Structure 1
């Protein structure tokens, strides 16, 4: 078994394809920039508890004598209404936003991929039932549905993440279902069915693995949208609650001080903009190398 797994005939073509994919990514300057930005953001998210200059300001610290100070050497992004260092809070907000967005997308994938694969593989009444339920969810704008669910569940970060996942899974279900309907008619699937392979085995071993590429592209682009939706929920008071250093919540609070402290809302907004843009550019780059129709040799 191990000899088969580590056989050169197995890993050499995959290694060659991986190297070619890296080469295609390296040709796109915008994609390279997005990868660098995302790498920096991930590093910040992982090391945030250790690198923030004012750790006490992240949650509990208050310094009334330093409130609403403009950007300076000691406070590169200025301070807020309680004298907390905005730079420290924006850095720590990277950790919260990325972690919550990744968990929301993963949860949406866990729900959407099996449902889409089952609908596309089995067809008939199963397909009809799953897709009609999916259409009901898709009939609502994702943000509006997330707001409604978050309002029902209660305003906190965990419920916001769950609300986003519930509003996002139908898109993956529809995507996987379309891929599964096409793949199940191919020769290798018909051959597997001809030798008596069960539908569940075909679904897990043949259909789902061949649907992963478009899902990866969609998920990478959705991360930016999820971060934006999370910020919107927090801005509306349905996501993170004070004193959590979440970007959308910081923008909400800054509205009361915008005329006198422009820096309060600008830097969290800039963090949201850069993060969403980086993930969108990464998604475009991945789509270019994974879709033969758009691949540029």
Structure 2
């Protein structure tokens, strides 16, 4: 009976959150655009007019061709269709953002929950290491780590995970310190519930709201960082159709082929904007201080 009441309460909370999220027109539009981006990434081979151009095909005879009926976004310096490369670039940006945020969230949440729950010398060690990482700007730290590891998309993702996890650690530690003072946690400790079980069963599940908010807001930042590392030559390498790499390559041709820079740049702008708007919408819904019913 108690489980049914808990499930009913969770369902009501979910419906209220969905209603509040859908009530915001800008958030609703952003979620539709995000859904379109996800579908475009999944069905890129079918949506791309020239899917082979996003891999390794070249057509020097139509290099830097302006937008036309045959090539809506024009072509690059090797005659490859920019629309096809831009669509395939969605896959790289979204997958990189998802991988980076997921691993940073898992590592940071676990360390933060342990630090806040256990306390003592372990808390001091974890938080001092966290403070060291937080003392450097995330982008600068990612650039240094990516440069040390070597230029590649995988190394760029690893560099971003190393740069981002401390934020989740600090957030979850604060939640854990608050949650462990609640009566049901003290009752679990009284009956001898192992600390690790208490962390995974009570601390982490009840402290996920601010973590989800932070993750949703970080998605846009990660997309922008992936593009930045690609632009600097520390991320994806040719012929990978990554937006930042495309913008970096196109800067030499901007005066004669503006489309080469504009379209991948617009893709970065739209994707980052969509994630930022959705992140703000989730913050308004999940944060009790900003929720408006």
Relative to the length of structure 1, the TM-score reads 0.96
2:97 partner SS = helix
Which residue in the other structure is 1:76 paired with?
Answer: 72
Question: Is residue 89 of structure 2 the alignment partner of residue 93 of structure 1?
Answer: yes
Q: CA RMSD in A?
A: 1.2
Question: Is residue 218 of structure 2 the alignment partner of residue 218 of structure 1?
Answer: no
Question: Is residue 270 of structure 2 the alignment partner of residue 277 of structure 1?
Answer: no
Which of 2, 12, 15 is the matching residue for 2:8? Answer: 12
Which of 155, 159, 162 is the matching residue for 1:163? Answer: 159
- More deviation, 246-255/39-48: 39-48
1 CA distance for matches of 2:22 and 2:164? 31
1:208 partner SS = helix
1 CA distance for matches of 2:240 and 2:275? 24
Which of 34, 37, 42 is the matching residue for 1:41? Answer: 37
Q: Could you list the structure 1 runs, at least 4 aligned residues long, displaced by more than 4 angstroms after superposition.
A: none
1:81 partner SS = coil
2 CA distance for matches of 1:124 and 1:111? 20
Q: Once the 2 structures are TM-superposed, how far is the Cα of residue 204 of structure 1 from its aligned partner?
A: 1.0
Which residue in the other structure is 1:255 paired with?
Answer: 251
1 CA distance for matches of 2:9 and 2:130? 38
Q: Which consecutive residues of structure 2, in runs of 5 or more, have no partner in the other structure?
A: none
2 CA distance for matches of 1:42 and 1:137? 32
Which residue in the other structure is 1:143 paired with?
Answer: 139
Relative to the length of structure 2, the TM-score reads 0.97
Which of 57, 82, 87 is the matching residue for 2:53? Answer: 57
Which residue in the other structure is 1:230 paired with?
Answer: 226
Q: Which consecutive residues of structure 1, in runs of 5 or more, have no partner in the other structure?
A: none
Q: Once the 2 structures are TM-superposed, how far is the Cα of residue 202 of structure 1 from its aligned partner?
A: 1.3
How far does the alpha carbon of each residue in 1:104-144 deviate from its partner, in whole angstroms, 9 at most, with x for none? 11111121111100100011100000000001111111011
2 CA distance for matches of 1:138 and 1:8? 43
1 CA distance for matches of 2:124 and 2:12? 41
How far does the alpha carbon of each residue in 1:26-57 deviate from its partner, in whole angstroms, 9 at most, with x for none? 11111101101111111111111232110111
The count of corresponding residues between Structure 1 and Structure 2 is 293
Q: Once the 2 structures are TM-superposed, how far is the Cα of residue 230 of structure 1 from its aligned partner?
A: 0.5
Which residue in the other structure is 1:106 paired with?
Answer: 102
